[in-house]
A and B are shown apart, each in its own frame.
Chain A
Amino acid sequence: MASEQRANEVLKGLCDGVVAFDEETVGKFSKAAVEEGVDAYDAITKGLAHGMGKVGELYAAHEYFVPELLLCADALYVGLDILRPHLKRSDSGKSARRIVLGVAEGDVHDIGKNLVKIMFDAAAWEVYDLGKDVPLGSFVEEQQRTNADVVGVSALMATSMLAMPEVTRMIKTRNPNVVVMLGGAPLTREIARSYGADGYADNAGEAVREAVRLVEVIK
């Protein structure tokens, strides 16, 4: 079992490795976590996810852009692939949060949604990604199938925004306790609210924080 000091070194190494998009470093510290008995859940949430949180801040500050985010995600997934099999059964209760994600019908711009997916993966949520140009009914069906806490719908085009109030209504009619979050360049918090959504985020990092907050409020 690693000492507290060593565990902190490992967590810092994971975090820094993700921020530096250094797959080798993340791989090294992920294996170290497994071999030295650092709790896998802590390694994911306090190491990898913490790193992705910093990456999100760098993106919001226009220091990192999409190519850098994708490299950081590659490093993140190196770590997740090593650590996830070592999560204890009891860890599943710590984050029994599920999200269905997709790009609204008529729209195929999915980079933003993919970045959001990465953030939720990093935060140890179960993510059900429906992809792009998703028929409205599929959001409802997938939420029912997975019992997801949150449904996230994104759109880049103004025309696809028209789908959002309808899909929000469809989800809420079936289950009023599901959190619906909307995102995408043409949206604002006010527009999302006017569409009946519970939440909105204007960047991937913020999306996870908003989802956590809303799930706690509604549940």
Chain B
Amino acid sequence: MKAKELTDQYLHSGHGCCPGCAMTIVLRTAFQALGSQTVAVITAGCFGTISGTFPVSPIKLASYNTTFPSAGAAGSGVRAALDIKGDFKTTVLAIAGDGGTFDIGIQALSAAAERNDDYIFICYDNEAYMNTGIQRSSATPWGAWTTTTPPANLKSQPKKDIVQIMVAHRIPYVATVSIAYPEDFIRKIKKAKETRGFKFIYAFSPCPVGWRFPSEQTIRLARLAVQAKVFPLYEVENGERYTLNVEPEGIPINEYLKPQGRFAYLKEGDWERIQENIDREWKRLMNRIENQMI
């Protein structure tokens, strides 16, 4: 499947998402790659609250909204119900934002991964609580402005490494995906669908409102994140087999940071510090790929 073949077949217009929202592109891509034989489990967060209003739904898949912390548990419940009825061909897809994955949802997510329940968990990471109005989460990067990390007190901790946390569960499949690389994205979703056990798909989701950039720049930001090594595209099988899928150009970090208003309050030396962190993380990833171990 090519990027231009992506349609709104399973996610129509009529949702309340902001112009330039990456999450809708993430989910449209995931839905289309999976097809109609899918049950979606949705938690609170951007998608849960603005994905439509009764009695109409823009989602053309059987879908179930659950509470903020419970994507991991609800995904397991739907899978078990389908299995006991003998339906092994329907895919279950649990959908959560960074809050529902990194923070309030991590307990149920970790438990489902540990049980290796057979479904796909996709996280759209827009790096803060965007639906409630841009509050920091543990996915917010160091130095970013949010409404709870104001200019005088910018986020002073690094982003939680959710991929390594999920890899440490030794689940069959962990992959990072980007809307700027749709063919890679679609291939990974299809691979997850064919893999038995727990699959974690981690999608980068630039947010024009929360990151303070023009809404037509969403895909560009997603591409810059990959090329600047902020969001490497890779996959990990069974907790140990690492594969890098896109070789980044390694553009300087300021090319990625500069278009975003949330990084406007960085002080002298901060960009260098961020660049050093990126380079260190990249080296770590390269070591894992070369040594093929955690």
Q: Is B a genuine binding partner of A?
A: no
Residues of B within 8 A of A (CB): none
